Amino acid sequence: MTSKGSILRSDIAESPGATLAEELGARSMTQKELAAQCGRPIQVINEIIKGKKAITPETALDLERVLGVSAEFWLNQQTRYQLTMARDRLKETA
């Protein structure tokens, strides 16, 4: 955790794709099965898992419907991940 004034935040964020991959593994579900149940191309699921594509609100709702994990969870994790990556990029240029 980093403390700056009264703000506490973690400098580490797991990509939502890594969490999604873990969730699929725990359920013995393939990317192909998830894509079919979400009505999304398998490439979209694969790119999310690889961290090449962000989870959109629409995809978060699909994940909520299929996996029972709230859309807010997926979007919050996506936002935390993007903020951490942005902070890291700023540190590199400072």
The predicted-structure confidence for 13-62, as pLDDT tens digits, reads as follows: 789 999 999 999 999 999 999 999 999 999 999 999 999 999 999 999 99
Q: What is the pLDDT of residue 26?
A: 98
Q: Name the domain count of the chain.
A: 1
Q: What is the pLDDT of residue 94?
A: 73
pLDDT digits (tens, 9 = 90+) for 67-83: 999 999 999 999 999 99
Q: Is 16 helix (H, G, I), strand (E, B) or coil?
A: helix
> Which domain CATH number covers 70?
1.10.260.40
Contact, 74 vs 60, CB < 8 A? yes
Residues 9-21 as b/e (b if ≥16 CB within 10 A, e otherwise) read eeeebebbbbbbb
Q: What is the pLDDT of residue 10?
A: 59
Q: What is the pLDDT of residue 41?
A: 97
Is residue 3 in a domain?
no
Is residue 7 in a domain?
no
Rounded CA separation 20/30 (Å): 11
Is residue 81 in a domain?
yes
